[in-house]
Structure 1
């Protein structure tokens, strides 16, 4: 059972008035007295009963002036100020520490020292890096990347020659190169000279004594080239010179000579253009800078042909029609002349 206060309320000791009254104490210490949440005092051994419902609605009485604050209030205020000053920066530091930890986990590992192979031929490096190496034809746009290196219906040929005979004025075959319609080299071999070489013409031909010493026999090269050209369209620049040193012939209707094509000659006022000037004019590519390369010259001739291939082949067909018509009209005209 809950204990009850001894005696009646009238018999209980009343609070003194005057100086010890609640109002006087409130005015003296500078706070307003709370009317709710009053406690009842008991004798020794009695329990103080507080109304819990009243406590939740009780407003805390803060000192209105600092001079009236008790030592407990001052201690609490100092604690709060210390917490505000030291607590907030501490959290920021913790965040900084956390961010530094998190960022440290994402830092890339230290790379090992890279090994450089300056001056090493790319073909001697690892196979995985070889596919990144471009050929000279790909670098200047004369060779189509990613295509096959087999003979096509149209091939281009160029030869390099060396000087023989008196003062090296005569020419013999030293190197022959063929490319397909995509510009890929399908044949490239040096040839052992059939006569004593007087002038290697290295500044122009790019041929050196060591190249032809390791070359193929002329008869072997002649046979292999003849098999490639058989039944195909041959492209070249002044290609009749190349056929001459190979001692080969080719049907005229299957030859596409970039030095004799009329639209190309019209670009130079009717004159026969050099391959260097023609490539720079049509392709915007400079070839034959210094020593010549038969592979690059064949690629340049093929590219000039493929850029005008549709028009060129149409001109060839029209020329054949005119030739056939002239052949058909010629006997009829001869009969008329004989009858007259």
Structure 2
């Protein structure tokens, strides 16, 4: 694990690249262990587009789009370096990318190619081995919408090692709230304003979990969750602005339109 985490990028150790955003775990003082909390988020690109055909004048989806892992970020969730990335892997594309899905991935053409990428580029095998080691070590992963991410990475994680904020902040059979909405309402954070960033999203999930635990400890979680749903139904599910006291400002007063967003 230490060797893989400290390996040079595919561009080579002599490549002139900007400073990397991550700091590998110190295996002397930060060795992965059962219960160690980590924030995680992943970004994907479209490898092949959906295939459609027409039957009886109706468009029929024959096969959905195929996505591939393009970036995965893991952040420390506790301790002196809480919130600092220990992994921020960009995964080399082994086949042509049909669409980088920049609005949702933050990735642009060239990011996944050794000859042009300005990021820490590695192989899918190395990215997977790092995650597999952390899972086997018993680490607990905090993120938003992790079921889909883990399925697409083909990573099996025991349920007791997963803290999914999309599930924590929801009532049974009620709509799921987006990370962007929750982060703005509960943390006053404006994320995903232009594009997604897996480090930013993982950090937001860690902050949400911190808020969740505080609300539970105070005995106010159910009230706050009901408040979130009331707000969303009345004003929409877009990010909110907070006043000086930390209370949300209705969109008509904040000068922003209402609308709806899904779970991102």
Question: TM tier, shorter chain?
Answer: 0.5 to 0.7
Equivalent in the alignment of 2:74? 178
Q: Which runs of 5+ in 1 are unaligned?
A: 1-122, 125-134, 136-147, 316-340
TM-score (normalised: structure 2): 0.57
Alpha-carbon deviation of 1:151?
5.8
Equivalent in the alignment of 2:153? 246
Alpha-carbon deviation of 1:194?
4.1
Alpha-carbon displacement from aligned partner over 1:221-273 (angstroms, at most 9, x marks no partner): 10012112330111110101221222111011221111111xx225xx93200
Equivalent in the alignment of 1:271? 175
> Compared with structure 1, are the counterparts of its residues 158 and 235 closer, same or farther at alpha carbon in structure 2 (3 Å cutoff)?
same
Equivalent in the alignment of 2:193? 289
Equivalent positions of 1:50-129 (< 5 A) are none
Equivalent in the alignment of 1:221? 127
Please state whether the residue corresponding to 2:45 is helix, strand or coil.
strand
TM-score (normalised: structure 1): 0.45
Alpha-carbon displacement from aligned partner over 1:89-119 (angstroms, at most 9, x marks no partner): xxxxxxxxxxxxxxxxxxxxxxxxxxxxxxx
Q: Which runs of 5+ in 2 are unaligned?
A: 1-17, 22-28, 51-63, 115-120, 220-264
Q: Which has the higher contact order (CA 8 A, sep 6+)?
A: 2
Please state whether the residue corresponding to 1:204 is helix, strand or coil.
helix
Please state whether the residue corresponding to 1:212 is helix, strand or coil.
coil
Alpha-carbon displacement from aligned partner over 1:187-232 (angstroms, at most 9, x marks no partner): 1010013443100111221112221113211111100121123301
Whole-Å separation in 2 of the counterparts to 1:238 and 1:254:
14
**Structure 1 position 164 matched with structure 2 position 47:** yes
Please state whether the residue corresponding to 2:200 is helix, strand or coil.
helix
Aligned residues: 168
Q: Is the 8 A contact 1:163 1:198 kept in 2?
A: yes
Alpha-carbon displacement from aligned partner over 1:165-197 (angstroms, at most 9, x marks no partner): 234822110000011112111110100134431
Report which of the two has the higher share of strand: 2
> Compared with structure 1, are the counterparts of its residues 302 and 221 closer, same or farther at alpha carbon in structure 2 (3 Å cutoff)?
same
Whole-Å separation in 1 of the counterparts to 2:45 and 2:175:
27
**Structure 1 position 208 matched with structure 2 position 115:** no
Please state whether the residue corresponding to 2:160 is helix, strand or coil.
helix
Larger radius of gyration: 1
Say which of 115, 121, 139 aligns to 1:232. Answer: 139
Q: Is the 8 A contact 2:45 2:70 kept in 1?
A: yes
> Compared with structure 1, are the counterparts of its residues 151 and 243 closer, same or farther at alpha carbon in structure 2 (3 Å cutoff)?
same
Whole-Å separation in 2 of the counterparts to 1:157 and 1:309:
18
Deviation beyond 4 Å, 4+ runs, structure 1: 148-152, 310-313
Say which of 143, 146, 166 aligns to 1:259. Answer: 166
